[in-house]
Structure 1
Amino acid sequence: MTGMAAAASSTDRPGALEITRRLAEICGPPFARFAGPADEVAGRTARWVAVPGGPHAAAEVLRLAAAHQLTVVPRGAGTKIDWGAAPAQVDIMLDTGRLAGIWHEPQGSPVAEIGAGTPLRAVQATLDRTGQRLPIDAPSPGATLGGVLAADEAGPLRHRHGSPCAQLVGVRYLDADGELVSLDAAGTAPHGRAGPASGGAAALFGAAQVPGLDVARLLCGSQGGLGVLVSATMRVQAVPASRVWVTRPVWTPLEVHDLVRAILAARLDPAAVELDLPVPVLLPRRRVHPDHPSVVHRPGHPSVARRAGEPAAAGSLVVLLEGGPADVAERADRLVAVLGGETVVGHAAPEWWGHYPFGPGDTALRIEVPINDLHAAVYALRDAAGTPVPVRGSAGVGTVHAALPGSLPPDRVASILAAVRGVLLARQGRCVVVAAPAPVRRVVDLWGELPTLPRLRAAKAHLDPHQRLAPGRLPGGL
């Protein structure tokens, strides 16, 4: 039976129409419906879609689900809905689109409370009007803040500012029973209780008093499996007066290793250090005369400028510098001296900046490794795949993404993962399958060895003991 057929038949059971009626009462008739073909989570079709108009309506949806023993999976813009493992069951898809807005933004405040369903682009546009920004640049276009936090999705700015989770000051979320919980650094809870209050919390955090942000940060990367985000209070900062991108062509992963070490040793306070290693494109072997119509006014074209016998650059290493104009200019000059003569300084990001190297249908990998071993991870991936693999990401922190063709058989993907993970294991690194075609996702181990799994299992047992929130989305089938 197909996923859609299963969903359709499941809504015929006794009580289904009553659940539909109650969802319509809670959310309003236009905002509650039976799920359609597009309402899937990693290939698993939902039965109902509910779009509550506020935190209290969302809480009512969760209480209804608890009363009828239904599972709930949150959805923001759906940009990462196919990431990770498929949930065991999706009864109610809770769409956060109406949990949107910047709800608390005093003039000049260093923080802002933002609804989980607010598109990140809208947040940045609103803050920009007052000369502020979130230091978050997640690559998924159209992503909501809640979706970014639920996946802990970071972009180039992670080098200086850390992941989005690191920017959290407070959070409001709904637990599996529909109770609205408010957490901050002090663990206070004006909307409900301060967080997990029973003895199981001490097992998680090793203290009788549970730190609020420790609980809040458990929600980051949990894909809705530990709670439903309602809003997040985030740090904001002034928009930099000046930004420049310093680009250096690179030929080998080992060269990247040496350059990154030199950049960090120079103490230039980069905002980002990004690497792009695309699959090489064969360039013309024959040198073209500079007056030829195909290259006139293009003196930098490889067929004109490249010296005989010199290989084409495999990719680019790009450093973002931010700050005051004079300070940025001075640091850029120093960086050019560090990187060498082929370095270029520009005032616009390269086209690939802030984009993943994978597309729909690819098997997407995330590699995390100490920066001194990043080159070994890239070489291991190339050797295992038997061909160059596109790699892109934050070389300055040792986190990059790679793309394997979606046409690769699942057993071939599994063998590549085993080889890469074997190399990373001795280097305290890991390789995670971010997204993959369904046949691959069903066969391979998406996560690999995960030392934090016991703590995650304890958190799931404590925060969602009845397995109602996105069951199976977390590592270990949690």
Structure 2
Amino acid sequence: MPADRTLDRLRAACHAAEPVPAGPARGDRDDDAEPVRAAGEGDAVAGVPARYVAAPRDTAQAAAVLRAAAELDLAVTVCGGGTKQEWGSPPRRLDLILDTTGLTGVVEHAAGDLITVVRAGTRLDALAATLAGAGQQLALDAPLPGGTVGGAVATNTAGPRRLLYGTPRDLLIGVTLVRADGVVAHAGGKVVKNVAGYDLAKLVAGAYGTLGLVAEAAFRLHPLPAAVAYVSRSADDAAGAARLAATVRAAQLVPAALEVAAAPDGPATVTVLLEGTPAGVAARTDAARRLLGADAAVTDRAPDGWGRLPWRDGGTGLKLTGALSGVPGLLAGARAAADRHGLPLALRGSAGVGVLYAGLPASADPERVAALVDAVRAATATAGGHTVVLTAPAAVRDRVDLWGPVDGLALMRRIKQRFDPDARLAPGRFVGGI
């Protein structure tokens, strides 16, 4: 079908959808703007250019677009704030970018029940400001400025506070999902104890948009803490910081976060985040200083780089996991491998749950980076975990398997077949080419 007729079909589908209601459900887009347009020069995902861009203003329009895309056999990738579009593998083909930045706003905030329902394109920082007015929070850190709710769910990204609060998958209690064929499905509910369809919400979290569009998400909230304290102590190296963290972990401090950070050269730091009542935080801060040493620093402000990923745009970013007992060895092994290959590896992550991130600059030699990935994978396997290359320059992508060996791949392929039998949603973006 000629491109202009395809564009007309997509536009007609949007215009024929249910009228966009007034108020916050419309998102932030101009009323007169066309919801579908031809792609421009910058409309690409992981370097793959698109042909069209659709920016629906509500779930009905999003469903209409995906229904028309199915009829036209268009490959679709969802994009929100664009902060993680370089994560994962490039799509095998890309016809349509579904832009969620018009799907913004809080649908419902049941403050008494500590529940909120929010649209996928809502920025995490904007949501935080809204919930703070009620003394509440969605306890997710935003490691990349400008990240959206949908992006956090799609990648299941969590920051330092995952130790206490968990990941998006743990906080998610329901979703409104638009399937590849445009059918709208609802899973879970708006109360924490509702379990109907709960597994679907768990399933789509971390699926990189390969199973459907999460148009709305219902989350469990937490009260904002009355007091916070960051207790930090330097160590000679990353492994030493991990040993300090293990000492804290063995105590009864109940920290909200327990982070280790190590620059490519120089000392490492372990930081404990404590939250709660002023009296409780003060008592636990004293206990943390006794564990870490009298020279531990205490502040009520997050240290520089807190919650940020240890790489810059265009660099290589790795996610390392391992058993808690293996974290010191994992940090030591990663640092030793970087030294052997002459690479400036930065490390940061949660020594409390065994999830670490490592970063390399874009200028790093691709062959050396590929060799380092192999070495780090061996270290994480020894620690009972895995290494995933979240993002990397094209020259590195060509040399490594981004995902590495993954258990249960056959089951994952069957799930993809059930949800998206024509493989049109983000084809090839996820593990095993899913």
**Alignment deviations for residues 421-474 of structure 1 (CA, whole Å, 9 cap, x no partner):** 122223211111010011211221001111132221111111111101010011
Question: What are the Cα deviations for residues 113-149 of structure 1, in whole angstroms up to 9, with x where unaligned?
Answer: 0000100111110000111111111211111100111
Cα distance, 1:327–1:49 mapped onto 2, change above 3 Å: same
Kept in 1: contact 2:140–2:159 (CA 8 A): yes
**What is aligned with 1:245?**
230
| Distance (Å, rounded) in 1 between the aligned partners of 2:33 and 2:273 | 48
| Partner of residue 235, structure 1 | 220
State the SS of the aligned residue for 2:34: helix
Aligned to 1:23: 10
Find the residue that maps to 1:93 and give its secondary structure.
Answer: strand
Match of 2:159 in 1: 155
Q: Which residue of 2 aligns with 1:476?
A: 432
Instruction: Indicate the SS of the match to 2:113.
Output: coil
1:401 equivalent among 357, 376, 380 = 357
Deviation, structure 1 residue 351: 1.2
Structure number with bigger Rg: 1
Alignment correspondent of 2:250: 265
Q: Are the equivalent residues in 2 in contact too, given 1:389–1:403 (CA < 8 A)? A: yes
Structure 1 residue 98: deviation in Å?
A: 1.3
Residue of 335, 338, 341 corresponding to 2:294: 341
Residue in 1 aligned with 2:412?
456
Q: How does 1:141-180 map to 2 (within 5 A)?
A: 141-180=145-184
Q: Secondary structure at the match of 1:30?
A: coil
Which secondary structure state, in structure 1, belongs to the residue aligned with residue 110 of structure 2? Answer: coil
Displacement of 1:346 in angstroms is 0.8
1:215 CA displacement: 1.7
Task: State the partner residue of 2:108.
Answer: 104
Superimposed CA distance per residue, residues 237-296 of structure 1 (whole angstroms, 9 cap, x where no aligned partner): 111000010011111233223212211111111000111101225xxxxxxxxxxxxxxx
Alignment-derived partner of residue 270 in structure 2: 317
Superposition pairs of residues 45-64 of structure 1, within 5 angstroms: 45-64=49-68
> What's the offset of the Cα at 1:323?
0.3
TM-score, with structure 2 as normaliser: 0.91
> Which residue of the other structure, out of 90, 101, 126, is the alignment partner of 2:130?
126
Residues 17 and 384 (structure 1 numbering): CA distance in 2 closer, same or farther, change over 3 Å?
same
Give the Cα separation in 1 of the matches to 2:140 and 2:33.
36
Distance 1:410 1:244 in 2: 41
In the other structure, the counterpart of 1:303 is none
Match of residue 398 from structure 2: 442
| C-alpha deviation, 1:22, in angstroms | 2.7
Partners of 2:185 and 2:423 lie apart in 1 by 19
Name the CA distance, whole Å, in 2 between partners of 1:36 and 1:353: 36
Residues 169-192 of structure 1: CA deviation (Å, up to 9, x unaligned): 1110101110000000699xxxxx
Is the contact between residue 128 and residue 239 of structure 1 (CA under 8 Å) also seen in structure 2? yes
Offset from partner CA, 1:331-375 (integer Å, 9 cap, x none): 111111111121111111101101111001211111111122122
Where has structure 1 moved over 4 Å in runs of 4 or more?
none
Pairs aligned (count): 411
Partner of 1:3: none
Once the 2 structures are TM-superposed, how far is the Cα of residue 378 of structure 1 from its aligned partner? Answer: 2.1
Cα contact 1:71–1:91 (8 A) shared by 2 = yes
Partners of 2:176 and 2:215 within 8 A in 1: yes
**Quick one: which amino acid aligns to residue 365 of structure 2?**
P
Task: Give 1:382 shift.
Answer: 2.3
Distance 1:460 1:348 in 2: 43
Q: How far apart in 1 are the matches of 2:362 and 2:409?
A: 28
Q: Which piece of structure 1 moves more, 19-28 or 357-366?
A: 19-28
Determine the C-alpha separation between the residues in 2 that align with 1:170 and 1:73.
22
Inter-partner Cα distance in structure 2 for 1:392 and 1:248: 15
> Where in structure 2 are there 5+ consecutive unaligned residues?
16-31
Aligned letter for 2:176?
Answer: R
**Secondary structure, in 3 states, of the residue corresponding to 1:341?**
coil
CA contact under 8 A between 1:134 and 1:234: conserved in structure 2?
yes
* Matched residue, 1:78: 82
C-alpha distance in structure 1 between counterparts of 2:197 and 2:328, whole Å: 38
**Native 8 Å contact 1:257 1:372 kept in 2:** no
Deviation string, structure 1 residues 196-240 (Cα, Å, up to 9, x no partner): xxxxxxxxxxxxxx9622222111111111110100000111110
Moved more, 130-139 or 421-430: 421-430
User: Contact 2:117/2:190 (CA < 8 Å) preserved in 1?
Assistant: no
Instruction: After TM superposition, give the deviation of residue 29 of structure 1 in Å.
Output: 4.8
Determine whether 1:391 maps to 2:347: yes
- Decide whether the 8 Å contact of 1:99 with 1:230 is kept in 2: yes
Q: Does 1:360 align with 2:313?
A: yes
C-alpha separation in 2, matches of 1:175 and 1:101: 21
1:88 pairs with one of 92, 106, 121: 92
Residue 368 of structure 2 corresponds to residue 415 of structure 1: no
Instruction: Write the distance in 2 (CA, Å) between the matches of 1:176 and 1:87.
Output: 16
After superposition, residues 189-228 of structure 1 pair within 5 angstroms as 212-228=197-213
1:462 and 1:411 map into 2 onto residues whose CA distance is: 38
Alignment match, 2:46? 42
Q: Percent identity, aligned pairs only?
A: 40
The yes-or-no answer on 1:429 pairing with 2:414 is no
Unaligned runs of 5+ in 1: 1-13, 188-209, 282-313
DSSP 3-state at the match of 2:329: helix
Task: Report the secondary structure of 2:170's partner residue.
Answer: helix
Q: What SS is found at the alignment partner of 2:334?
A: helix
- 1:475 CA displacement: 0.6
**How far 1:106 sits from its partner (Å)?**
2.9
Counterparts of 1:348 and 1:333 in 2: how far apart (Å)? 17
Greater displacement, 118-127 / 438-447 = 438-447
2:322 matches 1:369:
yes
